[in-house]
Structure 1
Amino acid sequence: MIRIVVAVLLAIALIVLAVPAIERGASLNTQRQVETSIAAIDDAATSLVETEEISPDDHPNPRRVVDVRLPRGSLTTDAVAHFEITVAETGRYSSVRYVLADGTTRTGVIDEPVVWNDPHGNESVELDGAGEVQLVLSLRADENRTPIVVATRARV
């Protein structure tokens, strides 16, 4: 009888000790996955600006397609509730902010300004909910003919 009680107490103690480690691992795994997507967006946007030129009006714009993975909640990942790219006030880069389902907010930076859908606007790129999204980044000209990266969702 004592063996069973000791085994049960030991099992409970191991579970109590393991739960924080599992939660920490899930948070780190989510952070790694989202930051990989941010790095892919940054690489694609920087590549567009550094290696391409704005196309004439009658030609297609240079573009890159990026897969953005926002993890769903599971034992090994925390769910991403909101993901947002906003052009900084200086207009020289973009800031990234993502919020996990538990309310934890994390930030990052993209070295180029990235706007949503309109090169003449300043709308943020917002992705709500978890899952995979393909973003099409294209190099366009703003109202001053300055190159700017414009993000849209890929059409399936």
Structure 2
Amino acid sequence: MLVNLIRLKINNIQEGVRDMNMRKSALLYLISFFIITLVSYTGCPSVFCQEGEEINAKSLYIYHCTTCHGEDGKGTKRGHELKAPNFADPKWQATKKDEEILNTITSGKNKMPKWSEKLKPEEIQALAKYVRKLAPKKR
């Protein structure tokens, strides 16, 4: 009899826990739905270019390019293994036309991925201009 009473109590507790978990799940679902709806309605602002502002080419470069090209443009260990160019090399800068840099960023080259599917054309142009800024300063 005592065992049956304990089992009944345990079953009641388990049902209560299940109900509580269902309520938590429903609440989490509603909150997620609300956030997704809000973001899709208002639009999620880009950290690189908010409406009405200039594109932050340096942030774009740091986020997308430094893994291989390094923050200074000279390349990282991985970049050297992939034969990424040294943007700080005056000879490289002198031999590359702006259009070549744009095309490489847009379409990719060798092991470099194409960025046209992830970046807007104006972001690609900003990156190309930023690559030019990595050239050593003339004295």
TM-score by length of 2: 0.30
More helix by share: 2
Identify which of structures 1 and 2 has the higher relative contact order when contacts are C-alpha pairs closer than 8 Å and 6+ apart. 1
TM-score of the aligned structures, taking structure 1 as reference length: 0.27
Larger radius of gyration: 2
